[in-house]
Copies of this chain bind each other. A is one copy, B any other.
Amino acid sequence: MQNDIEAQEPFTRSLISSARMWRRYLDLVFRDLELSQARWSVLFELSQNEEVTQVELARTLGIEAATLVRQLDGLEDAGLIERRPSATDRRAKTLHLTKAAYPLIEKMEEMSATSRTEILEGISQQDLRIATKVLSRITARLENLSSGEN
């Protein structure tokens, strides 16, 4: 079934290092805006789906809730988001973008799309679709593995 195990090793290396390099490149691109890739992804996710709680947001981002706390602290200090007490659960807080966030998000989305196109240039839509499918599957699998048998 897995008779081509050798082919798997380069995959891991490419995955981890390309992700790191991509992140680094985005940090560079966003530098003038004083925001990192990490914070940008929080803002972007919120713009797609506001009013969520921190745990929910952390889950969709695939990071720990504790990690998110710091990003939110920074974004709140920068006046880009607000935490409001949840109406239904006094432990929880819901997250909201401020007015200041919208133009920034728009600009970052542009910059991010531009570099994406730049980086993915020359890769066929077909291949990209397959690669995306493979990566999603891996994410799902790792989610199971990490939580399941802990």
Contacts and interface: CB of A to CB of B under 8 A. Distances in A.
A7 B63 contact: no
Interface residues of A, number: 57
B7 A129 contact: yes
A146 B118 CA distance: 12
Given A63-B20, A116-B8, A134 B127 contact: yes
A109 to B, nearest CB: 9
Given A119-B141, A127-B133, A135-B131, A15 B12 contact: no
* Secondary structure class of chain A's binding surface, majority of residues: helix
Interface string A124-142: 0101111111111111011
Contacts of A8: 113, 116-117, 120, 128
Contacts of A20: 19, 62-63
Copies, count: 2
A18 interface: yes
Nearest to A2: B117
A58 to B, nearest CB: 11
Nearest to A109: B9
Contacts of A103: none
A12 B22 CA distance: 8
B7 A15 contact: no
Interface of A: 2, 4-5, 7-25, 28, 37, 41, 61-63, 112-113, 116-123, 125, 127-139, 141-143, 145-146
